[in-house]
Chain A
């Protein structure tokens, strides 16, 4: 099946530092989404990307849809303790609209030390 390789697997940083994580695949996607999951809760949508090259921000978060349509990155600037959680990328494959399922990455665990 299709795979989304997400890295890094985990990050342990100091409050105030910037964070970068990314997802790559051998398949072409027409949608990239970034979600955050807190313990015991469902994924919460952070940013949605729909066009190759698109760069979108949501507060301190910035994400880009790679030009090749096979990758995406998420940056978090000036991290704060509440940024702690697991971040997932998710993509929708380019099957001409024939599929709506999301394929999830393996997740990045972010720990922020005050």
Chain B
């Protein structure tokens, strides 16, 4: 069964550094998402992306964050000038279409900011 893959599985970074989290969505999917989960808390929506532009973002997704689809298969989340509170699991998800289509999640990248 096709799946969403994320790399790296764990990223450790010094505060203030930039990180790029990578995702390969399911190949025939058109909508891509990033969510995050702070340890012990629920999953929170960050951003959705379609047709090479952001279609929706949450209040968490401020100027520190950006997303990009650099080629036909990858979808990236960049966090500039990381803060301690950015430490979390970051999940990429994709869905085939908009609307009533389930979102399928990758196994996440654990980001640890020191």
Q: Name A residues whose Cβ lies closer than 8 Å to a Cβ of B.
A: 30-31, 33, 35, 40-45, 48, 50, 88, 90, 92, 97, 99-107
Contact = CB atoms under 8 A, between A and B. Distances in A.
Given A45-B102, A45-B104, A102-B43, 17 more contacts: A40-B110, A42-B4, A42-B106, A42-B108, A45-B105, A48-B100, A50-B100, A88-B42, A100-B33, A100-B55, A100-B56, A100-B99, A101-B56, A102-B33, A104-B35, A104-B42, A105-B42
B33 A97 contact: no
Interface in B6-34: 6, 31, 33
20 contacts: A31-B100, A35-B105, A40-B107, A41-B107, A41-B108, A42-B91, A42-B106, A42-B107, A44-B105, A92-B100, A100-B31, A100-B48, A100-B55, A100-B95, A100-B98, A101-B48, A101-B58, A102-B33, A102-B45, A104-B42
Contacts of B106: 42
Contacts of A33: 102-103
Contacts of A100: 31, 33, 48, 55-56, 95, 98-99
A31, A33, A41, A42, most chain B CB atoms within 10 A = A42
B110 to A, nearest CB: 8
Interface string B60-85: 00000000000000000000000000
Contacts, number: 60
A101 B49 CA distance: 11
Contacts of B104: 45
A31 B97 CA distance: 14
Contacts of A48: 100, 102
Contact of B33 (A41, A45, A101, A103): A101
A99 B56 contact: yes
Contact of A103 (B31, B45, B108): B45
3 closest Cβ pairs, A-B complex = A42-B105, A101-B45, A104-B43
